[in-house]
Structure 1
Amino acid sequence: MRRLVFGLLLAALPLVSAQAQSLTGALEWLPPGSLSVESLTRHPQEQLESGEQQSFYVEFGRLAFRSPDTLGGTARKAGLSCQACHANGFATKAFFIPGLSDKPGTIDVSHAFWNLRGEDGTDNPVEIPSLRGVKTKERLGHDKRSASLRDFTRRVIVTEFAGAEPDALLLDALVAYQEKLQPAAETAVPVTLQQDLADLLRYLDALRVPLAEEEPALAARITVMIRGQIGFIYERFAEADMRGSRGALEEWSRRLAAIAGQAEAGHWPQAREALKVLRQAVAAPPPALAADLPRALYDPVRLKAWISKPVQ
């Protein structure tokens, strides 16, 4: 029966870009009923030790935690990230994938759907754990096999979700971010454009570091992740007539690609200046975004109606 479920899931998956994003990516790569309006429009308020003033390691880890590029296989193609299961470090109670979950807030992480090498032949969904206060725990993982947060993080990426072997910097950053997640009461807040743009500014600030250190590979890596986050915002402006909003977001993405190109070519002063200009544009977004916002998919009613439409 387990193999049948896996086969049915894969048979429904069309071939789309590996950069599939959270909304359309999930609709195209995950079985019907996987998208939750609740988890896409409300999430727990993030609470980090020391507030929002964090080191580059924490900010890079925060971005990587939200980037599908950190994972591999189907998760990456569907636009899923660590944030999907652990929203702001809390367990995502509404997370549910038919055939892989037995109730909301659970997932079978040893299923071939995620990683053929990790298939254990057993239907065994586990509760998604909270990562709050994770730095104080002696053993980690649903089976308590990991003795360190670093080992646990690496195992989730590689073994459970078929990601590429993470390098030392990525692991340092992800661990640094998770260690800042404070144990706290869960307070749900709306997912908003305002917060998404504030996050985007934080990601751009993190990009300053590889540009200052003149590290083209790291600059390219971060720009790819940031462009993915812009893509998440882009998908919320789904109506065909939202050309002004979508055009602005596309322009920001093109500018990021150009910055990565300048860095690759060694044109560091130009790259740093371009980042400064882009940050100013994001800090003062065009009026079209605000004008289109009432019809965007940040609204739960509109999002529910959009999810209900057949996949084109």
Structure 2
Amino acid sequence: MTRRTDALFLAGLLLAAGPAAAQSLSGAREWLPPGSLSLDALSLRPREQQSGGDRHSFYAEYGRLAFRSPLVLGGTARKAGLSCQACHANGFATVDFFIPGLSDAHGRIDVSHAFWNARADDHRDNPLEIPSLRGVKDRDRLGHDRRMASLREFTRRVIVTEFAGAEPEPLLLDALVAYQETLGPADAVDTPVTLAGDLADILRHLETLALPLAEEEAALAEQIATMLRSQLGFIHERLQGETLAPARGIVEAWSRHLEEIAGLAEAGHWPQARTALAALKQEVAGPPPALAGAGPASLYNPVRLKAWLAGAQ
């Protein structure tokens, strides 16, 4: 395979592949070449299957949100909306991930390429199989070269060295490790991607935001709110069409509420911030019919998604 180093060429290909592998659909009609998106990749994901029951520590819940956030990585990956979840959906290897010029088969990617991080470029074509993270807590050696014994070290290397992210704060690393440690060995069982499921995730992440508001940690509250707003953005872009304008308006209002909560925290107005979060949680728990019933008319509906894909090719 010939190594391609033209940054513009690869940028277009990555943005084309991004929606297939990540949560975002943004720019797909403009960028995606024929065959880059599959219906299954966008309408199905493996069931998460966390160990330890339904309740987890703040660390694990914060890590779960960060695992899904494009804000954790850097460089081109961040610009394209890629997250840890893009390659490791709910901890499983994402077998549909494919970027022409960086992949030699689905589920394989060259992570030592200048496109991700010029400092880590090894000047070789060496796509590697995306690994599953299920059971990673109990592995004695990690990484493709099996040189790393620490899950924390492995996680930092992926963020900083492979994907040019900023040096993660200790709390963020603690959280990502804690989440990955809940991903015990399991068989992949595909489940539909649904509006109800994504709204339930938003509600779950709002619970995560409650702790920094209670402890009056403004910087952490702002970071979690920003990550949450990006998750709302993934829902918003599935609500396409004039008939779904009211549903989009609700999601936009929720995003503004999160921005306001972060602003209240930054200003030290903690009681008001906590009251605003409680009100937002109540809204998300019982969304208006215009949003709750929007699934069949949206790109959550596989039939409509298939038609959208046909127009995007």
TM-score range, shorter chain: over 0.9
Matched, 1:209 2:211: yes
Q: Structure 1 regions of 5+ residues with no counterpart?
A: 15-19
Once the two structures are aligned, what percentage of the paired residues are identical?
66
Out of 144, 147, 159, which is 2:146 matched to? 144
Check 1:84–1:256 CA distance in 2 against 1; reply closer, same or farther (3 A cut): same
Match of 2:290? 288
Measure the CA separation in 2 of the matches of 1:295 and 1:65.
29
Match of 1:254? 256
Q: Structure 1 stretch 21-30 or stretch 197-206: which is displaced more?
A: 21-30
Out of 79, 82, 96, which is 1:80 matched to? 82
Match of 1:17? none
Report the TM-score, using the length of structure 1 for normalisation.
0.92
The 5 Å alignment of 1:45-124 reads: 45-124=47-126
Check 1:199–1:110 CA distance in 2 against 1; reply closer, same or farther (3 A cut): same
Report the TM-score, using the length of structure 2 for normalisation.
0.92
Match of 1:8? 9
The alpha carbon displacement at 1:73 in A equals 1.1
C-alpha contact 2:136 2:180 (8 A) present in aligned 1: yes
The alpha carbon displacement at 1:74 in A equals 1.2
Q: Secondary structure at the match of 1:214?
A: coil
C-alpha contact 1:238 1:296 (8 A) present in aligned 2: yes
C-alpha contact 1:29 1:77 (8 A) present in aligned 2: no
Check 1:302–1:254 CA distance in 2 against 1; reply closer, same or farther (3 A cut): same
Counterpart of 2:10 in structure 1: which amino acid? Answer: L
Measure the CA separation in 1 of the matches of 2:180 and 2:14.
32
Check 1:292–1:195 CA distance in 2 against 1; reply closer, same or farther (3 A cut): closer
C-alpha contact 1:5 1:99 (8 A) present in aligned 2: no
Measure the CA separation in 1 of the matches of 2:242 and 2:178.
41
Check 1:304–1:284 CA distance in 2 against 1; reply closer, same or farther (3 A cut): same
Measure the CA separation in 2 of the matches of 1:230 and 1:91.
24
Measure the CA separation in 2 of the matches of 1:204 and 1:289.
18
Match of 1:264? 266
Q: Structure 2 regions of 5+ residues with no counterpart?
A: 16-21
The alpha carbon displacement at 1:93 in A equals 1.0
Match of 2:305? 303
